[in-house]
Amino acid sequence: MLISCLNLGAQIFSPPLPSPPQTPQPSPNVNQKLKIARENGPPPDLTYVDAITQTVDGPWRHLRMNARVETSDMLLQADEIDYNSDTDDVELRGNVRYTNYVRGEKLECDRAEVNLDDDTGRFYNVKGSAMSQVQARPGLLTTQNPFYFESKWAERLKDHYILHDGFLTDCLMPRPWWFLKGPEFDVVPGEHAIARRSWFYLKKIPLFYTPWFYKSLEKEPRKSGFLIPDVGNNSLHGKMVGFGYYWAISRSFDLTYLGQYYSMAGLANHAELRGKLSEKTGFDLTLFGIKDTQQITPDASGFRVNLQAKSDLGDGWEARGVLDYLSSFQFLNQFTQSFNEAIFSETHSVGFVTKHWGDFGVDFLAQRDVNFQSVIPGDTVEIRKLPSAEFTEREHQLDVDGFPFWVSFDSSASLLDRSQPQFQTRQFVPRLDFAPHVTTAFRWHDFQLIPTFGIRETEYGSSIQENVAAGEVTPTPTVSSANLLRSERDVTLDLVFPALDRIFKSPEPWLGEKIKHVIEPRITYKYVTGIDNFNDIVRFDENDILANTNQVEFSLTNRLLTKDKNGTVYDFLTWQLRYDRYFDPTFGGAVIPGQRNVIAPEIDLDGFAFLDGPRHYSPVSSVLRVQSRINFEWRTDYDPLYHRITNSSASVDGRIQKYFWSLGHTLVSENTVLEPRADQIRGRFGYGNPNSRGWNTGVDIFYDIRQGRLEFWDAQVTYNTDCCGFSVQYRRFAVGSIDYSQYEAAFAISNIGTFGTLKRQQSIF
């Protein structure tokens, strides 16, 4: 036996009001319902009657053949109608048709008894429909079909219907894919529908019995109840059985609990608590964890906590926070359902209070970043800011004798901590930082010269001290309590050349009517000095990798802009080349030969490290983008020192009608000092979309060419009818220590929800 309670966003018997609504007309009786005038309909205080033959007997009107009774909000039609104008009672016989224009309901029956005044009645051998108010959301299969119902008889009682011995469905008749059949349905339009002692049928096959089935019809449904159980199989953890409960604690709080029992691992628990403390303050807390009772994989037990919160404190102050705590990376590797989670080994938590006014801003924050180096417990790098106060000014324009200057600054005061195997700072290291900058601009014809001058004073409460033994530096430095002052001075000269452009007639209609080719050259000179103690600085964040430099950067950007017949301009193609020339190859002694060096002048150009020793020039960085119906991007670095492409990342994606694809390739040349060699392909290919009728299919792949290993792939097949859908997915993990496969399936009912183990976030569509 299955007890079910659904709390999903679709609406069943809650039609929209007519558009546009007319001004309500007041009734002389305060207890009488308020009627709305309808275009081309009777006024609210009149009732039209019509038939081929009519007879009058006191207050009774006997209408025969094509009989009609019409009010401002409903229409009654039948072969025979008897209407009492004093009591507003109506009796209908033969081919009865009832239409309610306000609620969008349509009924057909053999016989009916209706009271027009209080909107009550009885209908016999009923067939009817009501439009659904679909609250579309990601992962919900939708249809524009109305809900269709049949019953031996139905009664309308003020604000709700009771259907006796019938069924309902939103499939096309007369052969519905699914229907819910039971002895009694209680429907309150706009609120809820309840089925008692009913069976759910799929193609006339009874699937499950429910003594009480609830479906919310509210715009934002919230109702406590059990969630539909699900079953599945995991090759690593065994058979799976899932269950859950949704608790609508109040109008402002709710709690969802999901349990997943693995026959070879134990019970995994997932809970989500959401709350709205006030109109301006809310939070979302998620907890996931498992106690691995079988211990097939060591250290697989663990938990993860995620909290997101925000609050408008008033007077321009705002508070936000994200807490992401992971107890064990091995636990995440074993029980994650996401490939991205399996390979992403960092957690970031931050909470801050901020205010901005004019060009100024102030922030108070606490932050914790953890990088899991491996699945071994304790093999992590943890950096904390507790707390940090920041005061900044964005570029503020000043005019001096008509000459423009822009002044800005960054400043912060922080307590910092860093811990990792064989390395620990004291708790906590103070750091004070102040960095003002002044920018101006000179223009001569179409040439622009933009100079920026700045200083940066940073004081640290600790520093790194190299250990010296027998005249040699040991590989394990220690952290000293000696203060350290870094005094940086910088000058940047940005020379912007006039753009060269030419307009051509488009060779292809799909490119638009015209194409404009633009060439944008640029030269940037940067000089930074004063950082003569780079290797004594503890690394906490990007502020600590600033280094001396004397360099010039050459940049050349080509653009193809297209214009369609409506005058809209699109950036069709962009190709940018960048190259740095270094006049100080050691960057003030920051670069140490034979090791991977990460400094700010390097990462300003490229995300891949390329400094394994002193050098006078950087690789040539190329970024090519094409944006159209098919998008293409290729990022690559050519290193003239090694005469080869050191890294390359290319991707292409697009959709034509129902076909979609995404293909990417990442290549990193082998360099034991800088980066490990990588050669991987990722792809997604498919046909269809979540609401497409018929067959839809898709596949995801991540293949490591270097290892010759398919690290991850999943394939999904979905078949959607006019009112429901069937999905089956096979997923295979082979990443690091993870090696398992899993089958998942789901059955979706249009406008209601999805039942099964295949969750929305795991679906390809």
* DSSP state string for 394-447: EEEEEEETTEEEEEEEEEEEEEEEEEETTEEPPS-EEEEEEEEEEEE-EEETTE
| 8 A C-beta contact, residue 330 and residue 302 | yes
- Strand, helix or coil for residue 545: helix
What pLDDT is recorded for position 145?
Answer: 83
- State the pLDDT at residue 135: 60
Of 108-117, 283-292, 671-680, 694-703, which range is least confident? 671-680
> What SS3 state is found at 249?
coil
**pLDDT tens-place string over residues 156-204:** 887 788 999 999 888 988 889 999 999 998 877 657 778 889 999 998 8
> Is residue 574 predicted with pLDDT exceeding 70?
yes
Mean pLDDT across 101-123? 88
Q: Which of 52, 119, 61, 115 is nearest to 79 (CA)?
A: 52
Cα gap 458→159, rounded to integer Å: 71
pLDDT tens digits, 626-672: 998 889 999 999 999 989 999 999 999 999 889 999 999 999 987 77
Strands 205-216, 4-6: pairing is: parallel
Rounded Cα distance between 151 and 180, Å, is: 12
pLDDT of res. 134 = 61
pLDDT band at 101 (very low <50, low <70, confident <90, very high): confident
- Spatial neighbors of 604 by CB under 8 A, at least 6 apart, are none
Count, residues in the chain: 765
CA-CA distance, 240 to 230, in Å (whole number)?
8
The share of the chain scoring above pLDDT 70, in percent, equals: 89
Between CA 92 and CA 97 the distance in angstroms is 9
- Cα 116 to Cα 63, 362, 454: the distances in Å are 16, 65, 82
> What CATH homologous superfamily does 4-225 map to?
Lipopolysaccharide (LPS) transport protein A like domain (2.60.450.10)
Looking at residue 22, what is its pLDDT?
41
Parse the chain into domains and list their residue ranges.
Answer: 4-225, 441-676
- Rg of the Cα trace of the chain? 35
> Tokens 């109040």 identify what position?
250
Average pLDDT (98-127) is: 88
Highest mean pLDDT among 4-8, 96-100, 160-164, 407-411: 407-411
* pLDDT at position 673 over 80: yes
pLDDT at 21 over 50: no
pLDDT tens-digit series, residues 240-267 = 888 888 888 888 899 999 898 888 888 9
Phi, psi of 323 (to 5 degrees): -115, 125
What is the average pLDDT value for the chain, to the nearest integer? Answer: 86
CB proximity list for 489: less than 8 A, separation 6 or greater: 454, 455, 456, 528, 529, 530
333's enclosing H/E stretch is: helix 329-335
On the question of pLDDT at 674 being above 70, the answer is: yes
Q: Is the pLDDT of residue 497 over 80?
A: yes
Contacts (Cβ under 8 Å, ≥6 apart) of 552: 523, 524, 525, 526, 580, 581, 583
Spatial contact of 98 and 107, defined as CB atoms under 8 Å apart: yes
Query: Residue 476: what pLDDT?
Result: 62
How does pLDDT run across 527-569, given as a tens digit for each residue? 999 999 999 999 999 999 999 999 999 999 999 999 887 888 8
3-state SS, residue 422: coil
Query: So what's the pLDDT on residue 28?
Result: 43
What local confidence, expressed as pLDDT, does residue 473 receive?
45
Beta bridge partners of 290: 268, 302
Nearest to 647 by CA among 627, 624, 675: 675
> Stretch 71-91: mean pLDDT, rounded?
93
How far apart are alpha carbons 16 and 13 in whole angstroms? 10
Q: How many CA atoms lie within 13 A of 745 on its CB side?
A: 10
Burial 432-461 (b: 16+ CB within 10 A, else e): ebebebbbeeeeeeeeeebebebebbbebb
CA angle 649, 651, 656 (to 5 degrees): 175
State the pLDDT at residue 20.
37
The pTM is what? 0.77
Label residue 590 by pLDDT band (50, 70, 90).
very high
Does 715 have pLDDT greater than 80? yes
Is the model's pLDDT at 31 over the cut of 80?
no
Per-residue pLDDT tens over the stretch 193-244 = 788 899 999 988 998 888 888 776 555 556 677 777 777 777 778 888 888 8
pLDDT confidence tier of residue 377, bands split at 50, 70 and 90: confident
